[in-house]
Amino acid sequence: MSTTNSVHLHRVFKAPPERVYRAFIDPAAMVKWLPPYGFSATMHSFDARVGGGYHMSFTNFSRDKSHSFKVKYLELTPGRCIRHTDQFDDPSMPEQMQVTVLLKEVACGTDVSITQELIPQAIPVEFCYLGWQESLNQLANLVDPDIPDQ
């Protein structure tokens, strides 16, 4: 059963839009920042182009239980926008979520707005908010430092 449950998040990063965008389409970066606290990630396949996407799983480190999902890219505008569908491999959650990530250059870095729509009824919306907040904290740790060449 589909639902119109959605979450809207907003965050400003010190990093420039190009660096933030790259973290959303680099598989090595994604396994570092995307899983919420207490989870590890495995990237099973990856194709960063419109019509492509990725297959990933998150594993709860303390319980060794995993869930996997597939993403299909609908729009990739470097430094500005990422739109994709997101669907769990679990047949009990057949809904296809819609995710939009908007990036905008601002004086101090990048303004990021994320909307995740059509969240399955089985997932409490507050869990999505918490997970995204944890992921975005990890994203900041990855993209905000400006480490000079050595």
For the chain (length 150 residues), average pLDDT per consecutive 10?
A: 76 98 98 96 98 97 94 98 96 93 98 96 92 97 91
| Residue in 25, 23, 3 with CA at minimum distance from that of residue 13 | 23
pLDDT, position 45? 98
* β-bridge partners, 110: 13, 105
Distance CA 23, CA 142 (A): 8
Cα–Cα distance for residue pair 74/85, rounded to 1 Å: 7
What is the per-residue pLDDT for 148? 87
Q: Residue 137: what residue type?
A: N
Output the pLDDT for position 41.
97
The CATH code of domain 6-38+74-143 reads 3.30.530.20
Burial class (CB in 10 A: 0-12, 13-18, 19+), 70: middle
| pLDDT score for 3 | 44
**Whole-angstrom Cα distance, residue 31 to residue 114?**
19
The pTM is what? Answer: 0.92
Q: Residue 53: left (phi > 0), alpha (psi -120 to 50), or beta?
A: left
Which helix (H) or strand (E) segment is 135 a member of? helix 125-143
